[in-house]
Chain A
Amino acid sequence: MAGNVWIVAEHWRGTASDATRELLAVGRGLADSLGVRLEAVLLGHGMRGLAASLGPADAVLYVDHPTLADATGLVASRAVAALASERAPAVILLPTTNVSWDLLGLLPARLGVPLVNFCREVEVVDGALRVGSLLYGGKMAVTVDAGPGPVVLAILPGTGTAPAPGAPEPHVEDVAVDLADDSGVRLVAYEEPEAGDVDITQQDALVAVGRGISSEANLEVAEDLADALGGAVCGSRPVIDQGWLPLVRQVGKSGLTVKPRLYIAAGVSGAPEHVEGMKDSELIIAVNTDAGAPIFSIAHYGIVDDATDVLEALAEAVRKRKG
């Protein structure tokens, strides 16, 4: 395999994302196994400081242009595709985050190479890439033989550990790319979420409700338990889509990342998009009627039962203890 390993550094609204550190760790291991260089592609504007901090990479290909401050997936994919066509990397790593979502769909489409989505393991076996990925909302794990590449791998957040600090400063190469944007897609403004009554990232106890609570009426039971625990109610995607809770109460990829002392997942299946937002909670209790729900693989305690019944009984038991 002659091509190098690339990561595309992610940043948003002027700040490098944690996902970039993880990609560097995964990419470093992969490049070392393959005996090739690790190169980071950074598209941005006035981000030389970030370029210099991508230390575990051997080199940084830095494209500086005002259009790239918060580039759309269309612009970013065109820039990365132009560079990749010239330099032929074997593997391009991107994070499966909302910020990189359009890029990771459009880049392989432009390059005509396969994407392997939701990757959580990458290894080299006899010179070929073997990728472990999650499918069907985390209910199946698949192993994909991606050969020698070229391939784009979308890495689930939480897959790599951030590399130790102190890596030498990489060589930063300034690269020019044709960036005329005639796509007709223009960012007008960012809209902050309406301030909610509750900041779920600041709670010690969260009662999270998912599709399994069946109806909006059952929210009351979750509210009652949260009240008994002195915490708040949050939710997974389906509950927000139904309009049962506002977006500021959503945990996961499009919502917030929380690390409370107690997280009770009620009727939440545990899709990867939700798990990335709550997996670092101190104590996780999951209640679900499906014994095979992925949430049980990260929970500390699990109950296979109707979520509403368990929440109701737990609220009563908690109140009894508190006197």
Chain B
Amino acid sequence: MKILVLMKMVPDIVEELEVAGDGSSLDPEYLRFIVNERDDYALEQSLLLKDRLGATVTVVALEAPEIDDVLHTALAKGADRAIRVSGVDVMAGTRAKAAALAATLPGVPGVLPADLVLSGCQAIDDLDGFVGPLLSSAIGLPYLGLVSRIKVDPAAGTAVVAKEYAGGVMGRFEVTLPAFLGVQGCEKPPRYVPIAKVRAAIAAGGIEAVPAASGPAVTPLAVGAMAKPVAAGHAEMLEGSVRDVAERLADVLAARGLI
């Protein structure tokens, strides 16, 4: 079984985000990038399937700061191939990125067709679309998103997955392969890999570099302005020692009859 996993980098929102001088984008000077969390779950899901069924896992990512670390880590965890696609602006919209992947992937030997294509079901910078629905439509695969717990029956050519709804209710779906699944979660958190294994992957130099093929032009969304949200209201901030703050909160709770 061949599994293709798409990973991408997103701005780390634990860091303070600043607006650039143009007033409509993030200031790159202050940006730190981390791997999209859902993509990390997609990778873990693919590796669990490999552990169980002996699949071949190929990871593809667009070039971005720190992406080599992510790809080396994927190789160290057990991915068989890691491909970095260069030439697409890291801050481009999701539509443009999906279009670039759709134009490039068919030309990379051995990548498509895959039995299963996985990506995170969303990312924090998905303003104009989600990569799964866009790319699956472009390459002609059925798509199901918000899934976890993927179990594959290779003989039947099907996968059984759980799809999240609300209130903890899941839908159990049967999907005929090949298919594209947008991953929400996994049976367990992404695995830890010792740094020595990552160093070995770096030393092996296993990342394949591929230039992006040009596809149909995508008109980006016209972002007129970007700013930190102006809150309709704001919390009354309590300052002082932890003990003082706790006492004042206890006053508030007592006044409202909550204790």
Task: Give A residues with C-beta under 8 Å from B.
Answer: 12, 72-74, 97-99, 101-102, 105-106, 108-110, 114-118, 130, 133-147, 183-193, 204-205, 229, 238, 241-243, 247-248, 250, 253-256, 261-262, 269, 283-286, 290, 292, 294, 296-306, 309-310, 313-314, 316-318, 320-322
Contacts and interface: CB of A to CB of B under 8 A. Distances in A.
Given A137-B13, A141-B227, A322-B259, A297 B242 contact: no
Contacts of A101: 121, 145-146
8 contacts: A98-B166, A102-B182, A116-B128, A117-B129, A187-B173, A191-B170, A256-B168, A300-B235
Given A105-B133, A254-B166, A321-B254, A303 B128 contact: no
Contacts of A305: 242, 245
B142 A184 contact: yes
A203 to B, nearest CB: 12
B223 A144 contact: yes
B221 A114 contact: yes
B142 A297 contact: no
Contact of B172 (A106, A188, A205, A322): A188
Interface residues of B, number: 84
Contacts of B175: 184-186
Contact of A117 (B126, B231, B253): B126
Contacts of A303: 237-238, 245, 249
Interface stretch (B57-65, B79-87, B157-165, B207-215): B157-165
Contacts, number: 259
Contact of A72 (B144, B184, B258): B144
A241 B41 CA distance: 9
Residue in A73, A147, A261, A286 with the greatest tally of chain B CB atoms within 10 Å: A73
The secondary-structure label for the interface of chain B is: mixed
Contacts of B13: 136-137, 139, 269
Contacts of B14: 290
Interface of B: 11, 13-14, 16-17, 19, 24, 26, 37, 41, 95, 121, 124-130, 132-134, 136-138, 142-146, 160, 162, 164-176, 179, 182, 184-185, 188-189, 219, 221-239, 242-243, 245-247, 249-250, 252-254, 256, 258-259
Nearest to B133: A105
A188 B166 contact: no
Given A136-B17, A261-B256, A302-B238, 17 more contacts: A72-B173, A102-B133, A118-B127, A135-B226, A141-B226, A143-B224, A184-B175, A190-B170, A190-B172, A242-B189, A255-B168, A292-B16, A297-B233, A298-B233, A303-B238, A314-B249, A314-B250
